[in-house]
Structure formats: structure tokens, C-alpha cells
Amino acid sequence: MHVAFAVLSFCVLTAYEFELNIPIIFYAAAFCASVAGYNFVKYFGFTKFYYRSLTTRLKYIQLVSVLSLIGFVSVFFQLQQNSQILFVFLGLITFFYAIPMGVKTPKNLRSIGGVKIYIIAVVWAMTTVVLPVLESKLALNMNHWILVVQRTFIVIVLMLPFEIRDLDEDQVHLSTIPQKIGIKNTKIIGFALLGDSILLEFFKHKFSHNIFLTACFIGVLSAVLLAKSQKQQGRYYASFWVESIPVFALLFVVILTLVQKTGSF
């Protein structure tokens, strides 16, 4: 649910940037789909092999996942047709991310070397940028695609502390970025992506100081957490604080807006 709140925060930030009129059912669909999809990917292996001996915690996770899936289906048919199509496409990617793609090719998308982090980043970008735009009945323009690229860069960077943490546990064939170029160079790549994400603000047709400040806030906070990342991390360093960056960014926008409104009186 924590990850789902992060996805939801990015969706709200997209709506804020482009002044989108999005119905509440879309946010409900995005939240429920994120909970169900994340739990499916993370716990499918456990429930498959240890179904008869599931712990109470895993049973609760199963229950939450089923309820989230029911919630998603209940609002799915109220969405715009283009949103429905993209939701189904992203759902298939999520499904094959965890499930083997055939007898002759037993690998799932997650086990294909070197692509895991990019699949996650693209799915997040499509979910939090393209879906809100489609649900608003708008045609995608250059500004939207620039945000897709920015969001992809940001999510890649948010994944790097996880890959650094799991460097000794990840199998060699996964070819994660730290495995291929080392921790120091991984951080350098991350800093470069954050810098590029901020610079892309100047290529948008309409420059917004608030959006630029938000991009800088995300960039600086992500850079600090990436710089402090190491193989030996606290339990909640990546799994809570790094994943909270979208939520902190939304809070930053809320506070910035309130300060500006207060100052205008």
C-alpha cells in the first residue's frame, strides 16, 4: 500500500502540472491496481510453493490483494476506453513480469538480464503520466512525453538504492547496473539522470516555476538518498524512505501552494 501511495502521488502531480480534470474513480483504479500488481509480483512465488503453509501475514496480504483487485474491477468499466486498453496492457506486462512466458522460454520478464529496472520505470511512467492524460480525454503532446521521460529517469534512480542493497544477493544473470559498473559508477549515472530530468523542464512549451521547483526538490532529495546508499542499509532505508519520495514531492507542492496563497493576501 505504501508503493500504491507513491504511484498515487505521482498521478496527482501529473494532474497538477497539466491541470487535468480527473475523476476520483481513476485514482481509485490506479491505487487498487498498484496494490494488487505489486503484491502479485512480490509474493507470487511464496503463495505458489508454500500455499498450504502460508503464514498469517501472507494470508492478510492475499486478502488485501483480492480486495484491491475487486475494487479495481468495480471501477475499471467506468474509465475511458483508452485508459482501459492501457491498463490491460500494463497488467499483461505485470503478469509476465512474474509468470514464465512459455514452456520453451521459461524466463519471466524479471529474470531477463539487464531489463528489470527499465521495465519497472516504463510501467510507472505510463501509469502515472499517460494514463491520467488519457483519462482526461486529451491527446498526448510533447510536454506529456517529456514528463514520461522525466518520470522514467526518476524511477530508475529510485530503483538504484535497491539494486545497491541487493548487490550480493542478486543472481549474476540479472545484470543489474551495480553488477555491471559498480556502486560508484551507478551513483554517477543516477546523478546524471537526475540532472537530465531537471534540465528537461526547459524544453517544455510552458515553463512553470512551481513545477521546476518540484523537479529540483525531487532531484535533490533523490540525489541525497542515492549518495548515502550502500550495501548495508537500514531495513526501511530503501523500502520506505526512498519509496516515499513521490509522497514527499506531493507534500512539497501542497505546502508551496499554501505558502503562495497565504502570501498573496
Exposure on the CB side of residue 57, measured as CA atoms within 13 A = 3
Residue 97: pLDDT above 90? no
* Cell numbers describing residue 259: 505558502
Number of structural domains, the chain? 1
Q: Is the pLDDT of residue 263 over 50?
A: yes
Q: Decide if pLDDT at 108 tops 80.
A: no
- 79 φ/ψ sector (left φ>0, alpha ψ -120 to 50, else beta): beta
Name the DSSP class of 206: S
Residue 139: phi and psi, rounded to 5, are -85, 140
100 close to 107: Cβ distance less than 8 angstroms? yes
Residue of 139, 145, 153 lying closest to 226 (CA atoms) = 153
Q: Using CA atoms of 81, 84, 90, 94 in order, give the dihedral in degrees to the nearest 10.
A: -160
pLDDT beyond 70 at 47: no
Closest CA to 76 of 25, 9, 127: 25
pLDDT averaged over the chain? 90
Contact assessment for residue 152 and residue 125, using Cβ atoms and an 8 Å cutoff? yes
CA pair distance 265, 261, nearest whole angstrom: 7
pLDDT of residue 45: 55
Mean pLDDT of 203-220: 94
Q: For residues 76 and 84, what is the distance between their CA atoms, to the nearest angstrom?
A: 7
Q: DSSP letter at 129?
A: I
pLDDT at 109 exceeding the cut of 80 = no
Say what the pLDDT of residue 92 is.
92
Question: What is the pLDDT at residue 48?
Answer: 52
Residue of higher predicted confidence among 41 and 215: 215
Q: If you average pLDDT over residues 216-222, what whole number do you get?
A: 97
Whole-number pLDDT of residue 21: 92
Interior angle at CA 126, CA 58 and CA 121, nearest 5:
65
Residue 162, all three cell numbers: 535497491
Q: Which of residues 71 and 115 earns the better pLDDT score?
A: 71
Per-residue model confidence (pLDDT) at position 46 = 53
Domain that holds residue 188: 2-263
Asked whether the beta carbons of 117 and 176 are under 8 A apart, the reply is yes
Asked if pLDDT for residue 60 goes beyond 90, the answer is no
Among the residue ranges 58-67, 68-77, 180-189, 193-202, the one predicted with the least confidence is 58-67
Q: How many CB atoms lie within 10 A of CB 107?
A: 13
The pTM for the full model equals 0.91
C-alpha cell read off for 65: 490483494
Count Cβ atoms within 10 A of the Cβ of residue 105 and give its class: 0-12 exposed, 13-18 middle, 19 or more buried: exposed
Output the pLDDT for position 169. Answer: 82
Residue 49 has pLDDT above 50, yes or no: no
Determine the Cα–Cα distance for residues 62 and 140; give it in Å rounded to an integer.
36
Residue type, 262: T
Question: How confident is the model over 205-219, as a mean pLDDT?
Answer: 94
| The pLDDT of residue 265 | 47
Predicted confidence (pLDDT) per residue in 74-88, tens digit: 999 999 999 999 999
Hey, what amino acid is at 250? L
pLDDT for residue 105: 58
Confidence label for 1 from pLDDT (cuts 50, 70 and 90): confident
For 43-50, what is the mean pLDDT? 56
pLDDT digit string, tens, across residues 162-197 = 999 988 887 777 888 999 999 999 999 999 999 999
What is the mean predicted confidence (pLDDT) over 125-130? 97
